[in-house]
């Protein structure tokens, strides 16, 4: 991933310098690469490249984890929105039921009032019937007395 940051020109320069040192006049003593530390430097560079590759893998893994986390959060968000919609529907249902209960209470009160009116009418009619019954009883008694007095005269 970080290979794009690696400078190929630097490697070429190291190789060119090594060739130049070989081509130099043999009167100069050429020290082996290990004595001047180039091989150590190259080893360090290789380790740094490995570390960069490792960091690249870590970044890739972090991106994958973040992507999964984003997906999980989005799924939770959808689930919560669905739950919220369901709860809203339940709330609307409860409100509708409360309105229905108020209407039923109002209707029940009307029926109860009508029942009270019917009860009053029945009581009034009952009182009238009792009055009629008394009148009939009184008239019956008068008729009976008249009959008895006639029977005693005829008798």
- Under 8 Å between Cβ of 5 and 53: no
Q: How far apart are CA 77 and CA 83, in angstroms?
A: 10
Alpha-helical (H) ranges within the chain are: 8-23, 33-36, 38-154
7: DSSP letter: -
Residue carrying structure tokens 């190259």: 42
What's the confidence (pLDDT) of residue 31? 52
Q: How far apart are CA 61 and CA 69, in angstroms?
A: 12
Q: How far apart are CA 30 and CA 145, in angstroms?
A: 169
Query: Does pTM surpass 0.75?
Result: no
Q: Which of 23-27, 40-44, 77-81, 124-128 has the lowest mean pLDDT?
A: 23-27
- Under 8 Å between Cβ of 61 and 6: no
Rg, the chain, Cα only: 57
| pLDDT-derived band at 6, boundaries 50, 70, 90 | very low
Residue carrying structure tokens 């060739």: 19
Tens digits of residue pLDDT in 56-93: 999 999 999 999 999 999 999 999 999 999 999 999 99
């Amino acid at each position: 991933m970080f290979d794009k940051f690696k400078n190929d020109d630097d490697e070429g320069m190291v190789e060119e310098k090594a060739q130049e040192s070989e081509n130099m006049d043999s009167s100069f003593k050429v020290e082996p690469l290990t004595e001047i530390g180039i091989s150590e430097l190259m080893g360090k560079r290789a380790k740094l490249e490995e570390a960069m590759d490792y960091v690249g893998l870590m970044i890739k893994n972090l991106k994958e984890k973040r992507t999964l986390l984003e997906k999980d959060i989005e799924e939770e968000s959808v689930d919560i929105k669905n739950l919220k919609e369901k709860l809203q529907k339940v709330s609307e249902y409860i409100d509708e039921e409360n309105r229905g209960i108020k209407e039923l209470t109002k209707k029940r009160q009307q029926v109860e009032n009508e029942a009270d009116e019917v009860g009053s009418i029945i009581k009034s009619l009952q009182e009238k019937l009792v009055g009629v019954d008394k009148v009939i009883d009184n008239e019956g008694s008068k008729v009976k007395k008249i009959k008895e007095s006639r029977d005693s005269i005829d008798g």
